[in-house]
Structure 1
């Protein structure tokens, strides 16, 4: 994984929110400098940076963006292209840490490094997750930190010490300072700490002390790494959490063939998106694992909960289902597929490992020539075929794996769901235009719905090519790049003649239109 990241990082474009996310990091650093070292402002690093308290995105968790801003100032201040690649590479590095956490959780639960690798492998062999691991600074980073926090929670429950409690509090604080849904972590910690006290009375005193250390350290650490909270921690954190619930509440999303307000999305929006964008083998195994856990819990709940491994399974189940219940209960706004709940996906793959392991054990227990053995061979063959198919798709669709739909043909998917809502295909679209137009300058339409994605992606082009681009009003443009975010249907003739498409498995994610020269 660590070798793969540098090899692939230059293949991906820049996401819709990247420049806005970058500004969050710079605003937070500027505020820190104002408070702690005002002389730093004179160095010119924060010219044209907004005031933190008055900016609309001040409520976004800044901790990862602050790190990226520091590195950009130190090494890439005059190199936006290099800075973009650096940011993508470090984002992928955090994803690798999250995959390592899944491996360690699987290894601890199933007492086998091999099963731990299966869990990490299922996470990596998820096309959309893999692609977004390079440019999704919020959801993938939060997912990875959440997995690391569950890992430190498991270690704390196993060996309750002050050092373990402070380490767990630090990881939980970092996760919360990326996404406010990190507040679920103290809930999981207290709930499963209480369950552990019930199951292991001899460790009750040690667990009580450890939870005390954890709860005492968590809030100060959350505030420490989130400068926006410094002046009024409680009030501002509640403001940020409220913003998370209501953010972009006027946005329309394209779901099941209709443009719908994100405030009126049906309850099945997240489950359906999870189903259609996750490999079928992963889903089948996860359902099997969840059923095995539920069956054991309902059969003899008290005796079942006495076993450490069963409590770990319950933790995975709570991690998977708890956030979905909370989001429905608080009526939180979601959009752009299920990316806001990516952090439940490691639990999904760990339950998939649970299902696979249960199937292997059942196969091993069946008589050699029985129907169960034959059924197991058939199921195993289908799983191998499914895994190979997913791997082939992940390689074939590179670097557009974010357009992956598991079982829907591309022609059907584009009629029912949003496509490139990140806008990252814009980089390759601009590169194609510049490669095929010999003009000294190239006029590209700067329409409101496309301009953020195209201007962001232009920063990843070589400087000489970037200098040829002119973003102009649509009436003056020679080229228009259709990204299909809020325009799910075909573009009308006034946009020009289509000259190039980018497709993923038969689904068009970007079309380049050319108009006659004026």
Structure 2
């Protein structure tokens, strides 16, 4: 880059990102899982309060018992923290405030994760001052990841702590001190406390140290010591934030891993117009979602980065190694931590929910490989300036697209997807976050002092109604009976709704509000009564 890098650029970059996020945090709606995850946290707090003998504590009604609770095997560090904060502020009965609190928390965690990603890229490219900022900007300008960073209470939390634990691993592999190992163990414990798929981080750590133990004889004593301390320390950091593991720790931990591997969700998902059973997904399911929801230039650079990393690995294998230096070790680790979970899901035929949000946590690693690809292209291909212009143009174009879609970047598709209405071919706003935007627009249409009733076709619609600002909520009320309601609100979850809207049948011919980011319909409010 010809433009000289200044030391204060990162401070300005992250300062502006913080201000932007806090300015738009209230634009995002409530996702399907937020109320569920809130209850999970409260059940864990009830259990912890009982075990700690906390007096004058009012338990959740109905009286849930964590011992028999269906979701007891999930780490609850985020949910517990959010519940304690809402209680501290006295917002337990204020839907608008306690959901906004969680969205602010989600964004602040995203902001923190971006700083750690910056440090990760800087660790790999210490002599390329612009690379860490470019990589971090590419990660921020990833539409679906950006949107989920405001309201996803579980997959996004895993992404954050997975990213941080990967940074601590790469730092430890470059600078092998006991201090860095302890930090890595702490980050691993936090990651395991979010979602158990983070198990791949300690597995990768152990495999790398174990391989060195076999390959590099000089590391035997050192690596044995680290292997003996790391995993017990990570579990020790995990348990305090995981109340269910306070008793019978190892038996319950094994049960949690077993339940994760046997999890079933007997439902269907939509991809390319095919209604697929979640228990029998094709091998292309996750790769397809990644390919159609990631900007195309990003994909080309990611594949280049994967090629460069594999090329180095093949070169190393001539010496019976997998890497020859610290840079190649970092790339090898990121390749495994990013591609590995995708391969595991395919090989194990894992059950997945809508889209690829369960595997969002691998995406920062793919962006890391994107920067490996960009660096490889700069070093090996002609016309470096053209490559920079193309990458810069891709970042700018994606930013413009995200502004167009705002606040519905969660339904972004790249330019490869064209043709028939997307809502009859793909999962769109399956979590219903767009209901909030629709309700706000509907409220603007209703004269002051008047009230209209709305029939919700699906549950998240109700949570978005409850979380409305008071002035908008005053103009609307929920109605359970179709024949009494003025409007129907839907996110087209059901097939008949999708096709009836496409063909403009029944009430779908009378829209009051339709949310269509990028021209793709995701939410509609339709008149059930003639005015």
TM-score (norm 2): 0.89
Among 375, 385, 390, the residue aligned to 2:393: 385
Counterparts of 2:227 and 2:436 in 1: how far apart (Å)? 48
- Residue 366 of structure 2 corresponds to 348
Among 252, 276, 282, the residue aligned to 1:266: 282
Give 1:323 shift.
Answer: 0.8
- The answer to whether structure 1 residue 2 and structure 2 residue 18 are counterparts is yes
- Residue 22 of structure 1 corresponds to 38
- The answer to whether structure 1 residue 90 and structure 2 residue 105 are counterparts is yes
- The answer to whether structure 1 residue 409 and structure 2 residue 425 are counterparts is no
Q: 1:476 to 1:61 in 2, by over 3 A?
A: farther
Counterparts of 1:199 and 1:40 in 2: how far apart (Å)? 59
- Residue 453 of structure 1 corresponds to 460
Give 1:328 shift.
Answer: 2.2
Counterparts of 1:444 and 1:498 in 2: how far apart (Å)? 13
Give 1:313 shift.
Answer: 0.8
- The answer to whether structure 1 residue 104 and structure 2 residue 122 are counterparts is no
Counterparts of 2:171 and 2:386 in 1: how far apart (Å)? 38
Counterparts of 1:486 and 1:245 in 2: how far apart (Å)? 29
Among 215, 234, 237, the residue aligned to 1:221: 237
> What per-residue deviation string (whole Å, max 9, x for no partner) do you get for residues 53-80 of structure 1?
3333333321111011111100133432
Give 1:247 shift.
Answer: 4.1
Among 66, 73, 76, the residue aligned to 1:59: 73
SS of the aligned residue for 2:187 comes to helix
- Residue 313 of structure 1 corresponds to 331
Counterparts of 1:59 and 1:284 in 2: how far apart (Å)? 39
- Residue 516 of structure 2 corresponds to 503
- Residue 473 of structure 1 corresponds to 481
- The answer to whether structure 1 residue 432 and structure 2 residue 441 are counterparts is yes
- The answer (yes or no) to whether the contact 2:200–2:337 under 8 Å persists in 1 is no
Give 1:309 shift.
Answer: 0.7
- Residue 3 of structure 2 corresponds to none
SS of the aligned residue for 1:253 comes to strand
Return 5+ residue gaps in structure 1 as ranges. Answer: 364-371
Among 142, 145, 148, the residue aligned to 2:161: 145
Q: 1:152 to 1:68 in 2, by over 3 A?
A: same
Query: For 1:105-504, what aligned pairs fall within 5 Å after superposition?
Result: 105-111=120-126, 112-197=128-213, 201-247=217-263, 249-301=265-317, 302=319, 305-363=323-381, 372-373=382-383, 376-407=384-415, 408-409=417-418, 411-438=420-447, 440-447=450-457, 450=458, 452-467=459-474, 468-487=476-495, 488-491=498-501, 492-493=505-506, 497-504=510-517
Number of aligned residues: 503
- The answer (yes or no) to whether the contact 1:297–1:305 under 8 Å persists in 2 is yes
SS of the aligned residue for 2:489 comes to strand
Give 1:88 shift.
Answer: 0.6
SS of the aligned residue for 2:281 comes to coil
SS of the aligned residue for 1:444 comes to strand
Give 1:11 shift.
Answer: 0.7
Counterparts of 1:503 and 1:36 in 2: how far apart (Å)? 50
For the aligned residues, what is the CA RMSD?
Answer: 2.3
Give 1:266 shift.
Answer: 0.5
Give 1:31 shift.
Answer: 0.6
> What per-residue deviation string (whole Å, max 9, x for no partner) do you get for residues 367-413 of structure 1?
xxxxx33xx55444433332221111011211111111011237553
Counterparts of 2:176 and 2:424 in 1: how far apart (Å)? 52
Counterparts of 1:4 and 1:174 in 2: how far apart (Å)? 27
> What per-residue deviation string (whole Å, max 9, x for no partner) do you get for residues 238-265 of structure 1?
4433443454521111111022211121
Counterparts of 1:333 and 1:453 in 2: how far apart (Å)? 22
TM-score (norm 1): 0.91
- The answer (yes or no) to whether the contact 2:268–2:277 under 8 Å persists in 1 is yes
SS of the aligned residue for 2:283 comes to coil
- Residue 13 of structure 2 corresponds to none
Give 1:420 shift.
Answer: 0.3
Give 1:84 shift.
Answer: 1.3
- The answer (yes or no) to whether the contact 2:487–2:528 under 8 Å persists in 1 is yes
SS of the aligned residue for 2:158 comes to helix
Which range is displaced more, 409-418 or 330-339?
A: 409-418
Which range is displaced more, 149-158 or 482-491?
A: 482-491
Give 1:221 shift.
Answer: 2.7
- The answer (yes or no) to whether the contact 1:426–1:454 under 8 Å persists in 2 is yes
Return 5+ residue gaps in structure 2 as ranges. Answer: 1-16
Give 1:115 shift.
Answer: 1.4
